[in-house]
Structure 1
Amino acid sequence: MNKVLPRACVCAYDALALFAVAVVLSFAFITPAYAYVDPSVMTYAIQAVAGVAVALSTVLGVAFRRTRKKLLNALGVDENARKEHEPRVHRVDASGNVVYTAADEAVQHGRASRAGSHAVRADRPSGYAPKWVMRLAVGMAVSFFAVFTVLVIAPCEIIAGNESSLLFGLSSTWTIFLIPGILIALALSLVLSALRGKVFNAAVLLVFGVGLACYVQVMGFNGGLPTATGATVDWTQYKTIMVISTGVWVVVAVLPWLLSQLNRKMVQFASLFLSVALVLVQGVGLASLFVGNETSKSDDVNYLVTETGMMNVTEKNNIVVFILDGCDTKTDVMPALEQDPSMLSGMTGFTWFQNSTPGICPTREALPALITGKVNAPHSDSANNEKAQNTDYLADLDNAGYDVGLYSDMIPGTTPDTYEHTINGLQDGGERADVIKPNAAETRTALWKCAMYRDLPWAFKPFFWFYTDEINVAMGTTDSDSGDAKTTESGYQIDTTPYITNDAGFYEKLSSTQKLSVVDNDSTGSFRLIHLNGPHYPYILDADAQLSDNSDRVTQTRASFRIVSEYIEQMKQLGVYDDATIIITADHGYRSESNFDCINNELVMSPVMLVKPAQSSTDASRPLQVSQVAVDNVDVMATALTGAPNIDAAEYPDSMLSMQDTDRTRYFYFCIKDETLAEKGWMELQITGDALDANNWTPTGLVYDNSLEQWVYIDDQQEFQDKWLKYLYKNMR
């Protein structure tokens, strides 16, 4: 009993020391980023804190070690008790008799001498030979640290920081990485523990060094890492950081082994201690992601967007809105028509409004604005916006008896007053929700690729480049069970496949595996909003909408219209084309990664706008018409519903088909980013007249400043130029 209490005190002290160091290191942890998938979820401030935290943890380690020795002395605990010691090594003569040296005699009589300091010691590298249990402990510590850092923590942090852009969140995916991570770490631990001597030392410290290098890479060398928007990256711009990060990465990975040449035992123990500490730190960070997720969730019901009804129309009164992401009149459609003059030949009965403007950009703001007809900004447009304040188009459609299908993975399932009106919004916790799960193998492969992109040095990042839809496609290659083929109240077969923006996949279903079909029910009609990638990068489709490694923006524009044309042709074959209202538009026009791409020193953004109303067969067969009436994509829903049966559109904003003004003043709100692509806020631009004429685009001086969280008018021209215009006119300085 006398020995138990001191030992318990020492164990409690060790636990306290480990916890204290872990707490200090936890301040170095990262914060999530929101937008497109961003693997580099780290700010410069956090990097600085990380350095301080590591330094403090080192100081704490030294302090705790020295204090521990004093505690052991005070409690009378012998650290070396019950430990086996190697016998002293002596030289022997030919007869086997020990030959004592002067050093041996000096030690034996207690007289320290210079010769004694050169005697072989047990703690020198060549003399330290840990037993299997110790090798297993060290191997397990470094294995769990390295494996967890790359294969568990990295994918979980990427998902948690970008849930708004991904199909499934952390709560649905964390076990996909944790369980294999544990198995891989255990297997690696056993392999390492089977090694001995120098081989074990080199292997275990290499594993530790690689894990530490990955950790250091994320903490200090991922600043400015491109986000996964799918845009082509010019990696030649990153040559300097490639050289620096690779050098640092190699040094950090090899340094533990080099230090072990001085004192193998000390370095192995240090690697064990740091591995455990960093696993605890990252574990705390991982747990905080779940806590942050729970506290950030609203009380809104969450819906999973499925493909139910996507390939169905009704016998009458069909309203179809295609959103071709980023499809621009001037940059995309007109050049595509030069390549293929017949591209729009199937658009009979349509009017092409070429003088079209967007309401707001980027997509996360533009899609809700398009669906509601509302832009939350002071001017935001015309008298039309004032009328739109009291509209609720989806609710009106639902109440009028329409089957509403909303197919987009860019409108969150928690968006209020949205998916509760649809046939394809599967409520979280509903009877089918438990069978909709991410594809474990595909998700793991995709996110481990992302982890490599994040954790490896810059020189290797191009080999692991990815884009957001790769992750969503992997997650949505479902393990779902459509099972007993239940149907909705409207007669649509429930499809538990989550909707993902995948133009090639959509076209394959439309043209071969499923095709469009008519559902015979008692509904008033159907409404379908289908969000496709359009000419938005990455450019992966040829003109026939087939996957290709050799494409460009104009070619992919042709692919987009190939898809839409196939849909229209099938509507004609089914006999539901004439009385259908069809709108082909975009959430916004063309934009570069950060701001407008000023082509030929022109600053314009014009989302494509093709409109066909319900009409007679004669009108539905007339060739495409062109109009220069000034329209805006927030006019889309009012236009789509005007004239629809059972819909009272008296209080709606004006339909594009009834407008006459070619000089209408419209307002556009563009998200401004600085050199690091951090969002500064929104700038208001006024467009009067032809939207394709850059001279008609004028900044008004009104901005929404994120730092102030309010709209402000800047009348100081120099301040406006320095803080806002220089980021807008990217190539016009």
Structure 2
Amino acid sequence: MFWGMLILLYLPNGEWGISGGFFIMSYLVNAFFMVMKKLRESIWEMHMLQNIAGFFAFIICMIVARSDDFQYFSNWLFALLLIIWLVLLCLFTFGAVDKNPGMLYWLFTETAENRKVQVVRYKRIIKRFFNIFLSLFLLMFWIFIENTLEFYYTNRKTLEFNLSDFWGSMIVQSFFLSVIISVLVSLLKTNVTKIISCCLWGLAVASYIQVMIFDRDLGITDAYAIKWSDYSGKMIMTGIVWGICIVVPVILFAKFKNKFFSILKYVAVCLLCIQISATIYLVIKSGGYRNTSEAEITNYYVSGKNEYTVSEEKNIFVFVLDTYSNDFIDEMTEQYPDALEPLHDFTYYDNYDSKYDGTALAMNYLLTGQEFDNTIPCREYSKEAFHSEKAVEFYNTLKEQQYSCNIYTDKATVSFLNAKNLYEYYDNVQENADGEILVDYHAVRKNIIKGAMYKVLPLALKRFSLVVTSDFDGAVSSSGGGEDSPDLDDDFYLKLQTQGLEYNSSSGTFTIYHFSGMHDYGDGKGKNLPEAAYDNLNDVYVFLDELKNMGVYDNSTIIITADHGKIMTVDGIQPIFFIKEPYKKNDRLAVCSSPVSAEEFMPTIMKLITGESKDKTIYDYEADENRSRSVYIRQYKENISDLLKNDSANYACLYKYTYQGDKDELRKYAGAKPKQKIPLIDFWY
């Protein structure tokens, strides 16, 4: 009751129901164990177990929680108290608790007067402590120290925080958690602690095997939903491996006793030394503990300025719905035959090619028209692309035609494009000269742990620890500016419905809305693919209705496309592309199968605003034209030579596939090696 009332004082709003549930569970546990003769005859010992559980739950939560975010752990404290108490009750009932004079349980429960006259068995207690500590710290080190560091190093080019913002606390917390849990387990008898140690050692080995062997061909969690059913066979296989790793050490201990356990402890020490060496190497490669993030927040940011405004005279609106493959349209219309009816004034180019997979490459190309240059660092390519003759001419023409330019996208995409590059062309990109960098340590630590857990968990449990790029949005911010960040995705459409649009003072607007699109499908929101595809278009339809209400729908150019389709495959890489020209009226959606690509995106807009373009547009290709197009697919590092040859984080190269025809022709290359392999010297992530 004391612990329950204490926790209620710290509960965040809206979580009273959870605590009520814990209260009920605690009393049910009480009632269950009170029928057992052993505890019924010793209510005092039962209460002592409650006190021990409360003490250790409180200490563990104090170690895990920083002083400024203890509120997040109020319910965790209650839950942990209940779990520890339940485990201790079970172990006590089955005689696993060591109540001998001089041992830890005796020290916790005996009176001060009796403790004075008894000899405490320090050597035996310390030996029992290390029996559990070595295996536990091996597991803790592998998950919370090495794998959080490895997750950070792999993604260091997109994460805006530094190693020191989370890793020091991870080391301290892992060590002291191992210490306090080892002390708690030392309450038990020697053989029980050794069995638990064998299980923990097996978990550490199993998680190591999981990372090094079984995680190599998993899909990317923030691109589109992983089809877990495709991995059912491997789930069973990995489950068996995990079971073997845990059970075999216990069996060997039961057969060989202390001889095997001595070997196990020496192996644990050796594995710890290996992990420490690998960790030191990773720290050095990351730039040291006091490193500076490669995606360090800059003095420029994308604001929400003019996000809900339109021009009375002329408008170009481009909706870029991330990861929206044109394959999804086919699946959507099977379930929702009338889903495209609101687009009756549009033309659907169902053979449109994005050229590149992944937002970093595709968005840089879409906004500059410059081919990727693999001979220079990626950020240098982006800078040169935005300062290229083609990009400068395009944006200068927009300005000459009196268009204001605005782009609304997420922080990850801004890091790929570089806000400073955008600042020169887009009016809503602002300079923040004197902002103080603020780090949300709770969000950083929570998501970095999720990323580490995703790696080490068995395949069947990974879906419960998904982490995506957008989880880190807002983890780092600037106090001196950037508060007026744009509304994206659901926030944009909800606000649009409540406040609508308004006119701005410009004679023309060129606006790009880059939203998560089918990333929502991959973020595990419970929708199937056709539903997610349909909902994305329905959201855009809200915008179209507002344009009609404002009376500017007819004079507007509207493009609904995607930066790319599915990633890391030619099977479904083609994105959607719908376009409505000014004053275009159709009875129904027109479909064109011309072999066009993102290469024609900027020339087509030039043609629409000036009446001419020196480069080919989407209107310059016939449906049956025999055109060769190429797509570039990122490929992971495949072997040790890839790891040694370059430092491009996740990716070693691009595979170039050249094809003629439509997406079905391109699909034939799925799984095939390309004729051209383009090495990468680095990458954004």
The 3 A distance-change label for structure 1 pair 562 and 676 is farther
Q: Secondary structure at the match of 1:705?
A: strand
Q: 1:525 aligns with which of 484, 509, 513?
A: 509
- The answer to whether the Cα contact below 8 Å between 1:167 and 1:409 also exists between their aligned partners in 2 is no
Tell me, in whole angstroms, the C-alpha distance in 1 between the residues paired with 2:521 and 2:214: 27
Residue of 632, 651, 667 corresponding to 2:629: 667
**TM-superposed deviation, 1:284:** 0.9
Kept in 2: contact 1:394–1:404 (CA 8 A) = no
Q: 2 CA distance for matches of 1:506 and 1:302?
A: 25
Number of the residue aligned with 1:703: 675
User: CA 1:149–1:694 in structure 2 vs 1: closer, same or farther (change >3 Å)?
Assistant: closer
Give yes or no for contact 1:685–1:697 (8 Å, CA) kept in 2: no
Cα RMSD (Å):
5.0
Tell me which amino acid in the other structure corresponds to 1:465: R
Matches within 5 A, 1:298-313: 302=298, 308-309=304-305, 311-313=307-309
Residues 70-219 of structure 1: matches in 2 within 5 Å? 130-132=123-125, 142-163=135-156, 173-174=166-167, 177-178=170-171, 180-192=173-185, 197-204=190-197, 206-219=199-212
SS in 1 for 2:545: helix
* Cα distance, 1:276–1:430 mapped onto 2, change above 3 Å: farther
1:472 and 2:469 aligned? yes
C-alpha contact (below 8 Å) 1:306/1:424 kept by paired residues: yes
CA shift at 1:270, angstroms? 3.1
Of 330, 333, 356, which aligns to 2:329?
333
Aligned to 1:95: none
Paired AA for residue 581 in structure 1: T
Distance 1:298 1:168 in 2: 9
For residue 362 of structure 2, the aligned residue among 334, 342, 366 is 366
- Structure 1 pair 256–313 and aligned structure 2 pair: CA distance change class (3 A): farther
Amino acid at match of 1:232: K
Contact 1:353–1:627, Cα closer than 8 Å, also in 2: yes
CA distance in 2, matches of 1:180, 1:517: 50
1:562 Cα deviation from its structure 2 partner: 0.7
Amino acid paired to 2:354: P
Match in the other structure for 2:461: 463
- Checking the alignment, whether the CA contact within 8 Å between 2:363 and 2:563 is kept in structure 1 is yes
Distance 1:376 1:216, change over 3 A: closer
- 1:473 and 1:351, CA in 2 relative to 1: closer, same or farther beyond 3 A? same
Q: Which residues in structure 2 correspond to 1:535-684 (within 5 Å)?
A: 538=522, 547-549=525-527, 551-552=528-529, 554-589=530-565, 594-596=569-571, 606-613=574-581, 615-616=582-583, 619=584, 624-644=589-609, 653-656=615-618, 663=625, 665-671=627-633, 681-684=654-657
Q: Secondary structure at the residue paired with 1:683?
A: strand
409-418 or 572-581, which deviates more: 409-418
Deviations 1:328-363 (A, max 9, x none): 44x332453454344233336433334433333354
CA shift for structure 1 position 565: 0.8
1:101-131 CA-to-partner distances (Å, cap 9, x unmatched) read xxxxxxxxxxxxxxxxxxxxxxxxxxx9725
User: Are the counterparts in 2 of residues 300 and 414 from structure 1 also a CA contact under 8 Å?
Assistant: no
**How far apart, CA to CA, are the structure 1 residues paired with 2:404 and 2:338?**
34
Q: Quick check: 2:322–2:517 contact (8 Å CA) kept in 1? A: yes
User: In the TM superposition, what whole-angstrom CA distance separates every residue of 1:73-95 from its partner, at most 9, and x where no partner exists?
Assistant: xxxxxxxxxxxxxxxxxxxxxxx
Q: Distance in 2 between matches of 1:262 and 1:679?
A: 47
Per-residue CA distance 1:416-475 (angstroms, 9 max, x = gap): 673334456577x8544623x45x44554444344334224xxx422222687x433433
With normalisation by structure 1, the TM-score equals: 0.58
Amino acid of the structure 1 residue aligned with 2:599: V
How far 1:583 sits from its partner (Å)? Answer: 0.8
Greater share of helix residues, 1 or 2?
2
Separation (CA, whole Å) in 1 of partners of 2:293 and 2:601 = 31
Q: Is the 8 A contact 2:252 2:260 kept in 1?
A: no
Q: Secondary structure at the match of 2:370?
A: coil
Uncovered stretches (5+) of structure 2, i.e. residues with no partner:
1-120, 375-384, 640-650
- 1:11 counterpart residue number: none
- The size of the alignment, in residue pairs, is 529
Offset, 1:556: 2.4
**Quick check: 1:495 aligned with 2:484?**
yes
- What does residue 419 of structure 1 align with? 422
Q: Is the 8 A contact 2:185 2:193 kept in 1?
A: yes
| Alignment-mate amino acid for residue 597 of structure 2 | D
**Contact 1:355–1:629 (8 Å) recurs in 2:** yes
Amino acid at match of 2:390: N
| Equivalences for residues 395-414 of structure 1 within 5 A | 402-408=404-410, 411=413, 413=415
Identical residues among aligned pairs (%): 17
Structure 1 residues 708 and 307 mapped into 2: Cα distance closer, same or farther (>3 Å)? closer
Counterpart contact for 2:301–2:429, Cα < 8 Å: yes
Distance 1:621-1:133 versus aligned 2 partners, 3 A rule: same
2-structure distance, mates of 1:581, 1:294? 49
**Partner deviation per Cα, 1:654-687 (whole Å, 9 max, x = no partner):** 4435767862624122428699798774334243
Any gaps of 5 or more consecutive residues in structure 1? 1-127, 379-384, 488-493, 541-546, 598-604, 710-733
Displacement of 1:584 in angstroms is: 0.8
Whole-angstrom distance in 2 between the partners of 1:172 and 1:395: 42
| Code of the aligned partner of 1:669 | V
- The AA in structure 2 aligned to 1:455 is V
Which structure would you say has the larger Rg?
Answer: 1
Q: Distance in 2 between matches of 1:572 and 1:293?
A: 55
Separation in 1, partners of 2:618, 2:677: 32
- Equivalent-residue separation in structure 2 for 1:159 and 1:649 (angstroms): 49
Q: Is the 8 A contact 2:300 2:423 kept in 1?
A: no
Q: Residues 543-585 of structure 1: CA distance to partner in whole angstroms, max 9, x if unpaired?
A: xxxx435x13x33221221111112222333444344322111
Judge conservation of contact 1:360–1:669 (CA < 8 Å) in 2.
yes
TM-score, scaled relative to structure 2 = 0.62
Residues 379-414 of structure 1, C-alpha deviation per residue, up to 9 Å, x if partnerless?
A: xxxxxx9xx963344576578662421415664615
